[in-house]
Amino acid sequence: MAIQLSDHFTYKRLLRFTFPSIVMMLFTSIYSVVDGLFISNYVGETAFAAINLIFPYCMIFSALGSLFGVGGSALVAMVKGQGDDEKGNRIFSMLVVVMIVLGFILMALAQLFLPAAARLFRATDAMYDTCILYGRIFMATLPAFLLQYGFHSFMITAEKPKLGLAFTVAAGVVNMILDWLFVAVFRWGVAGAAAATCVGQCVGGVGPLLYFLFKRDGALRLVKPAFMPRELLRSASNGMADCITNVAMSLVNMVFNLQLMKYLGEYGVAAFGIIMYVNFVFVAVYLGYSMGVAPVISYHFGAGNREELRGLFKKSMLMVAVASLALTALALATARPVASVFAGYDPAFLDISVRALRLYSLSYFLAGFNMFSSNLFAALNNGPVSGLLSGLRIFVFQIAAVLLLPLAFGSDGIWLAMLAAELCVLVVTVAVLAKYRGRYGYV
């Protein structure tokens, strides 16, 4: 029996409903990892460092699509909870058009400033051409990438999380197969890895678009769009936290890379690339759960079901706590085997990567709680508070930590910066949750 947003959610039902979203984010993360795995082993650490140097720049433009995916789905779910399904469909249709148009605009801007970005990030002569090649190909399908990211959330609001998972798995499988074919068999190098990613993005973005175009009787469907500026701004406000998180993560990664080029050179940037691939996978659990539960929270908030909100909050906090313990322990235990997959061919590269992974992994113990709390306020349609938590976490605390800690601890300070930032934002998060508990009734 299909689970609906209006249902009462037990632990079992909540896990069933959010599981496809978690797997969806894991798959999205894993096929990004495969790109790096093939490049590191078949092209070398210099090419691997180059793509990780330019990748944060690419993701800044990609992240802007989350304004209307995550934020729009929260608004649509709340409107549906208030009983206005037709308005929800009109908002959804408008946002799909906006994501497509925005995708083409951002694609042009990203291509224009790509060479300047590569120089700004201190790409060496050996890395520069690789940065440009990977960035140009990767950004060629940005509209499809924005749609893929947006439909992650809208599929959940449409009560079709399993179908969303199927599209994501299909995109990931296509990307991984093409990575093997283009890089390992045809030996196309970085260009092959970027092309494989582009094809995967098209499967994940265009596939759901065709589904909504031809499926006319679902809980969410495309209708003739109408421009609704108030709803557009509200969607952007709701999605601001997720957008800030993604943009800020890219900016922080740039600062990390600049510091690493200063303290450790190409080896440091390459080691950080391994951390980011591992981070994609581990953080995907927190993001997937938060994304999966958000429409449920939005629906019951819109319907005024405070008792259900309290249950959702309590259950979510417990599950995030369990996941935090498990993921931190797993990350510490697998640091050397994981690093060996990427860097086993170079002992110096391997040693740096193992130490970096172990120190960075300590942050997973607190990251889940902070990320869920920020997304909780986005689901409650309080974009400013959600954005504040995300902004402090990344723009303020993470950047400050990565700039200051190396002064005292050298390169180890770079790897410990994330833990320090999570500790700082935890204090703010607890205070904010306490302040707003009366207004929203989640406690």
The token pair that represents 195 in the structure block: 């092309």
pLDDT of residue 430: 95
pLDDT of residue 2: 64
Residues in the chain: 443
User: Considering only CA atoms, which of 31, 239, 242, 51 is closest in space to residue 139?
Assistant: 51
pTM: 0.73
Residue 231 CA neighbour count, 13 Å, CB half: 23
pLDDT of residue 365: 94
Mean pLDDT, each 10-residue run in order, the chain (443 residues) = 74 87 78 80 86 85 73 82 87 93 93 93 88 94 90 83 85 91 93 93 93 82 88 82 72 87 87 87 88 87 88 94 96 94 86 94 94 90 84 86 94 94 95 92 84
Query: Who contacts 120 (Cβ-Cβ below 8 Å, separation ≥6)?
Result: none
Q: Is 392 helix (H, G, I), strand (E, B) or coil?
A: helix
pLDDT of residue 241: 65
- Residue 4 neighbours by CB distance under 10 Å: 11
